[in-house]
Structure 1
Amino acid sequence: MTSTRTAAVRAGIEGGWVDLRNSFTNAQDITYYLFIPIVSIAALVVMGDATFRDSGAALQTLALPSILGMSIVFSGISTAAMWLHLDRDDGTLLRARATPNGIAGYLVGKSLFITGSAAVTAVLVVVPGLILFDGFEASATAWVTLAAVFVFGMLATLPIGAVIGSLGDDPKKIDLIAFPILATIAISGIFYPITALPGWLQVIGQILPTYWIGLGMRSALLPDSMAAVEIGGSWRHLEMIGVLGVWTVIGLILAPILLRRMARRESGANLAARRLKVLQRVQ
């Protein structure tokens, strides 16, 4: 059993790398990689010389690390849910289920692909941002913190995406998850410090992982003096690890249960029925 599981995981890793490498030759994937960086840099340029209240902190400087956090949230939740649903509808998940420990290998490969894609997007945001805008830290400690927050962020969001992707058979429901994600971004201090929001919205924002991922990115790239505009005037690293850890645990508990249930329900008949519904909608 152990050797079979190891082989499945190894196959998943190899498949994930192949999918990631192939995505660099696919026009649609390349467009996806470029979309968030281009829109993000354009939004920062539009902000111009605006500052946050009387702090003198440039909104451009505050927003760039938060945008990195936003891209992680979208990759971990929305992208994971979308791929899981697409792979269920095209039979990939059914084929994985027919292979010993195939679901485990599938999840390893897909997680590697999504994490690699998110890393590419993050690099395409942060490198131009550091070149075009001032006020960022570029020390070795900053890069280590950036990488650590990225890993914590993906661990917290990928299981959530898997949970959402395992629920429901209607592709329209998967498409709609972008709206609640945007709502969480609006109250999580992405484009404007959360301290500018009403107190009750600040509480809600701090329950969600989006705020903490953005805060972690700001702690990595901004000088310590910039923490003055944050809640409590601190980067609150321990609280960040705690909240993201809780979300990771919740996701890792729920995701396997729901994914196993979804896999058990997969069959050739169910796949054919879903395809028939799609054809009927097209007609």
Structure 2
Amino acid sequence: MTALRAGWTRGLVELRQSFTNGAELFSHLLWPGLMVAVLFFVRDVSFGGLPLAALALPGILGMNAATGMISMSQQLTADREDGTLLRAKATPHGMPAYLVGKVVSVSGGVLADLVIFLVPAMFLVEGLRIGSWPTLAWVLALGLVATLPAGAVLGSLFRTARAQGLVQLPFIAVIGISGVFYPLTALPEWLQAIGQVFPIYWMGLGMRSALLPDAAVAVEVGESWRHLETAAVLGAWAVLGLLVAPIVLRRMARRESGSSVAARRERALRRIG
């Protein structure tokens, strides 16, 4: 309980700071703003008799939720590089509190970004169904649980923030084959099979089931919203991440020391010089 309280407080402080810092506030507004612009330009395009903007909006929500994985990875690597993780390790209940705080701050940031995007998009896009909020809620919650532990595992693999660029390209590739901006059925069958392995597709599918009219299911794989499959795949990713992440993070924390932090800082100073 001590770790939970400390982590909750830490997460709220970090979340508040992200909205009072100019650079971070700009990042909160930039991506939702770009996605609203995309919907504006495709608002008159249709696919399968349905507005393309309406088909894309739920997928964009799922993609934005999945970016919490990248944010978690980047923040964990940055905190490891500057010694924040080492200080957490040296504090009683520090590591559990640190992880709880990161989950709170990253999840809160993701939810805020989704609201910033969704509010103007609801006025811009026609043909949406606003009646399945419980479905939207459980898909979003399960999706975050499925992706944030994976982000923690990725963050533990990189010693410097510079190496985080290696995560971006595969992530963009996964987005491209996950049916975010167009139905997955538009892709070859072998790419459809690969896309359905990752949680981004299932988060988008679940959100489409909550926001789109029943007729939209005709362009989905198997002409079904596949709620059971969505829960199963996201649940499998969540269980795997929750099992693997603590093991990986404990091993990473044991290897951290003052000398390793100092060495990384010295290498960073040499690059700057």
The answer, yes or no, to whether TM exceeds 0.5 is yes
Residue 50 of structure 2 aligns with an amino acid whose one-letter code is: A
Of residues 131, 145, 153, the one that matches 1:155 is 145
Q: Distance in 1 between matches of 2:161 and 2:21?
A: 23
Structure 1 residue 116 displacement after superposition: 0.3
Of residues 57, 61, 66, the one that matches 2:59 is 66
Is residue 97 from structure 1 mapped to residue 92 from structure 2 by the alignment?
Answer: no
Residue number in structure 2 paired with 1:122: 114
* Cα deviations by residue, 1:101-131 (Å, 9 ceiling, x for unpaired): 2100000011000000000011111111111
* Cα deviations by residue, 1:212-251 (Å, 9 ceiling, x for unpaired): 0110111111112111110011110000000011111111
Of residues 25, 32, 46, the one that matches 2:27 is 32
Residue 30 of structure 1 aligns with an amino acid whose one-letter code is: L
How big is the alpha-carbon RMSD for the aligned residues of Structure 1 and Structure 2? 1.0
Residue number in structure 1 paired with 2:7: 12
Q: Distance in 1 between matches of 2:140 and 2:263?
A: 39
Residue number in structure 1 paired with 2:180: 190
Structure 1 residue 272 displacement after superposition: 0.1
Structure 1 residue 164 displacement after superposition: 0.3
Structure 1 residue 26 displacement after superposition: 1.1
**Which secondary structure state, in structure 2, belongs to the residue aligned with residue 111 of structure 1?**
helix
Of residues 123, 127, 135, the one that matches 2:127 is 135
Residue 111 of structure 1 aligns with an amino acid whose one-letter code is: V
> Gaps (5+ residues) in structure 2?
none
Q: Distance in 2 between matches of 1:81 and 1:214?
A: 21
Q: Distance in 1 between matches of 2:103 and 2:211?
A: 26
Q: Distance in 2 between matches of 1:62 and 1:131?
A: 15
* Cα deviations by residue, 1:32-79 (Å, 9 ceiling, x for unpaired): 111111110111112141111xx211110000110001101112x110
CA contact (8 A) 2:80 2:159 kept: no
Structure 1 residue 195 displacement after superposition: 0.2
Residue number in structure 2 paired with 1:221: 211
Structure 1 residue 24 displacement after superposition: 1.7
Residue 50 of structure 1 aligns with an amino acid whose one-letter code is: V
Shift of the 257–214 alpha-carbon distance from structure 1 to 2, 3 Å rule, reads same
Structure 1 residue 208 displacement after superposition: 0.7
Of residues 100, 109, 116, the one that matches 2:101 is 109
**Which secondary structure state, in structure 2, belongs to the residue aligned with residue 279 of structure 1?**
helix
Q: Distance in 2 between matches of 1:267 and 1:48?
A: 54
Q: Distance in 2 between matches of 1:220 and 1:21?
A: 30
Residue 66 of structure 2 aligns with an amino acid whose one-letter code is: V
**Which secondary structure state, in structure 2, belongs to the residue aligned with residue 177 of structure 1?**
helix
Residue number in structure 2 paired with 1:3: none
Deviates more, 1:230-239 or 1:41-50: 41-50
> Gaps (5+ residues) in structure 1?
1-5
Matches within 5 A, 1:160-175: 160-175=150-165
Of residues 174, 183, 199, the one that matches 1:209 is 199
**Which secondary structure state, in structure 2, belongs to the residue aligned with residue 191 of structure 1?**
coil
Q: Distance in 2 between matches of 1:83 and 1:269?
A: 21
Structure 1 residue 171 displacement after superposition: 2.5
